Amino acid sequence: MANVATESSIREVTWDDNVDAILRGDLTVAAAYVTPMGGTVVTSVAPCGLASRAAGTVGFSTSLGIGKKLEHIVRDPHVALAYHTREHGSATSASYVLVQGTASVDLTPSMKRLEQFIPQAEQFLGPVKRGRLWDRLLREYYYERVFVDIAVERVLVWDNLAAWGEPFVVGAPRSRLPVLGQAPPGNGTAPRVDCDRFARQLARLPHRLVGYRGADGFPIVVPVDLGGHDDAGLQLVSSAALPYGGRRAGLLAHAFRPQLLGLSTRTATGWLEVDGDRVCYAPHISKGFTAVANKTLLLSANGLLAKYGLRRARRYGAGEALRAAQSRRALG
């Protein structure tokens, strides 16, 4: 693999053809960002091939209506994208790729950028609906979007989708500092949702990942399997090395069909405890949804949700709040 890195203010990161095919070809990836309490949220996004090896960037597009996610990213730009499955994508490699970098949010993308993104998205999500009715219904969904652009700091590449063993590192060397445990929440670490129900929900979703904040502030996301559950939480099994001790962590489980039809996802935040071979996850907050598998119904629902989310965001001044947060960060 090619690896070009400098110690200047701009780090150049160049990855090889195998990794580039994954970054450009995966249908959906796990995006992780850091919370104010030092935890991590892991959610699924469709990057639609947004990756530039020449510029050393990756990214994804989302709705302004999802203000809380954007607020966290603007506040702390340390993010990660986990390219964890080749299902329904164009890449064929068996590598697990974790990209860590610094995010910036384009809150007002140009019409040119939005128009250029549509044919790229069509390659992954299917043809755009056109016509007077569809143009009106889907205007917010297609054109009232923001872009999260990530300047890549580090790419970690495992030669297997289980993330077993030591990864090959492109870009900044991995931090040598230990990932220390965190102080437990004031109201305890025990599960706050029904673990029986939560385990049944996750059992139906084949792709499962857990994420936590690394020693250098960047999220680390690795795949996990279910190994049972008890009153303490879910027992997880992972081929990847997890740090000893307890910490706030996010969990994502999802399933999807081609073009993301029938997408079903479950996200959680909670407490991850690692003691030797025992890995226990106590969920504190859990939410999820299942989308319809019919493309026409799905687009109709997405259009209506985008309209509602944007109106709500404008009512509560989400755009202004995000721009103010960007200004504060720029001022240090």
If pLDDT is split at 50, 70 and 90, which confidence band does 319 have? low
pLDDT of the residue at 17: 97
Place of tokens 């960002």: 33
Q: Where are the beta strands (DSSP E) in the chain?
A: 29-34, 40-45, 51-52, 57-63, 78-83, 96-106, 145-158, 168-171, 207-213, 219-223, 225-230, 233-237, 245-255, 264-275, 278-290
Contacts of 123 (CB under 8 A, 6+ apart): 48, 49
* SS3 annotation, 270-294: EEEEEECCEEEEEEEEEEEEECCCC
3: pLDDT strictly greater than 60: no
pLDDT of the residue at 139: 84
Average pLDDT over residues 40-50: 96
pTM above 0.85, yes or no: yes
Which tokens go with 223? 């795949």
If pLDDT is split at 50, 70 and 90, which confidence band does 318 have? low
Helix, strand or coil, per DSSP, at residue 74: helix
pLDDT of the residue at 65: 64
CA distance 149 to 282: 32
Average pLDDT over residues 215-221: 97
How many angstroms separate the Cα of 158 from the Cα of each of 46, 94, 155? 21, 9, 10
Q: Determine how many CB atoms are found less than 10 A away from the CB of residue 15.
A: 24
Q: Residue 143 is which amino acid?
A: Y
240: pLDDT strictly greater than 90: yes
Which DSSP state fits 116? H
Instruction: Please tell me which residue, 176 or 283, carries the higher pLDDT value.
Output: 283
Structural domains in the chain, sorted by start: 17-330 (2.30.110.10)
CA distance 201 to 203: 6
How many angstroms separate the Cα of 287 from the Cα of each of 33, 36, 39, 68, 216? 17, 20, 17, 14, 28
Q: What is the pLDDT of residues 252-281, one digit of tens each?
A: 999 999 999 999 999 999 999 999 999 999
Q: Which residues are bridge partners to 234 per DSSP? A: 229, 281
